[in-house]
Amino acid sequence: MSRRAEILDEMGLSPRWTLREGFVRTLPTAAPGTVTGAPAAADDARSPDTHAVPAAVDAQDRGAAIMQMGWTPLAEAVAGCTACPLAATRNCTVFGVGDRQASWLFVGEGPGAEEDERGEPFVGQAGRLLDNMLAALGMKRGDDVYVANIVKCRPPGNRVPAAAEVAACEPYLHRQIQLLQPKVIVALGKTAAVTLLGKEQSIASMRGKVFRYRDTPLMVTYHPAYLLRTLPDKIKAWEDLCFIRERVAEWRAGAAQDLQSPG
């Protein structure tokens, strides 16, 4: 079987993607980019939950108030949020799910119909594909992995969220990132990548590069829902996952070397 046929087989026919030894394609390492669009990190990242519901947040101070929240108040603030028009049409807010000490953060665009029903990101077909993508990286949801979206409420008809909706919801994700302090962020799709990087760019121009969200390496691949609609691009997503895995392996090897070096 040709290599291409083998890849197609892995992508299209198998319900689970599996990286095999010697199968990883080597892609050129891109120069790290610098991101300036993200807000300043708070000093109290990973601060303990306060278990206090915040008082009514003044619109002007809303962003600052969110940046002070622990996990529980943050989740409660999202659950009761009416800061943008998406509140009027949602069934459930979708806060995010996974290991709150995770090294890996995967960020999508927004909830779809099933997520809106269940209140959990990436369920249904796209969720199963994400789980396969995680498996390809040797990971699984909830185990050192956290999954969240740019907007926490479903845009009607699964449309791309409007800029004002993204702007209203962004502080929640930024605070989630501050609390998580992930080691790697993977942006799934253009909305997630552009929002986190604060710069309009095409997915094609961002693939195979390492960016930074503040000090955290950020890499980009396609959104699973897009891949379900555009099967040929699964090959590109596979390449992205290989690239991500290679970079992480390099960083881990570098960290291990640093640890072994005499001080």
Q: Does 115 bind ligand SF4 (CB under 6 A)?
A: no
Letter for the amino acid at 57? V
CB of 88 to ligand SF4, least distance (A): 8
Partners of 146 in the β-ladder: 98, 105
Q: Which residues fall within 8 angstroms of residue 69, CB to CB, at 6 or more apart?
A: 50, 54, 77, 175
Which CB, 153 or 225, lies closer to ligand SF4?
Answer: 153
CB of 4 to ligand SF4, least distance (A): 41
- The three state secondary structure string of 8-60 is HHHHHHCCCCCCCCCCCCCCCCCCCCCCCCCCCCCCCCCCCCCCCCCCCCCHH
Which CB, 120 or 165, lies closer to ligand SF4?
Answer: 165
Which CB, 151 or 227, lies closer to ligand SF4?
Answer: 151
Which CB, 81 or 184, lies closer to ligand SF4?
Answer: 81
Cα 179 from chain centre: 14
**Measured distance CA(134)–CA(157) in Å, rounded:** 27
Partners of 212 in the β-ladder: 217
Kind of pairing between the strands at 184-188 and 104-108: parallel
Which CB, 78 or 248, lies closer to ligand SF4?
Answer: 78
**Measured distance CA(109)–CA(161) in Å, rounded:** 8
Partners of 187 in the β-ladder: 107, 220
Q: Coil, helix or strand for 104? A: strand
User: What's phi and psi for 107, nearest 5 deg?
Assistant: -120, 125
Q: Does 165 bind ligand SF4 (CB under 6 A)?
A: yes
Q: Does 196 bind ligand SF4 (CB under 6 A)?
A: no
Q: Kindly identify the residues of this chain, within the stretch 117-156, that bind ligand SF4 according to CB under 6 A.
A: 151-153
Q: Does 67 bind ligand SF4 (CB under 6 A)?
A: no
Q: Does 87 bind ligand SF4 (CB under 6 A)?
A: yes
Task: Give the binding-site size for ligand SF4 (rule: CB under 6 A).
Answer: 14
Which CB, 81 or 185, lies closer to ligand SF4?
Answer: 81
Name the one range near ligand SF4 by CB under 6 A: 25-33, 66-74, 78-86, 222-230: 78-86
Q: Does 84 bind ligand SF4 (CB under 6 A)?
A: yes
**The binder of ligand SF4 chosen from 65, 69, 86, 136 (CB under 6 A):** 86
Q: Does 168 bind ligand SF4 (CB under 6 A)?
A: yes
Interface residues with ligand SF4 (CB under 6 A) are 78, 81-84, 86-87, 93, 151-153, 165, 168-169
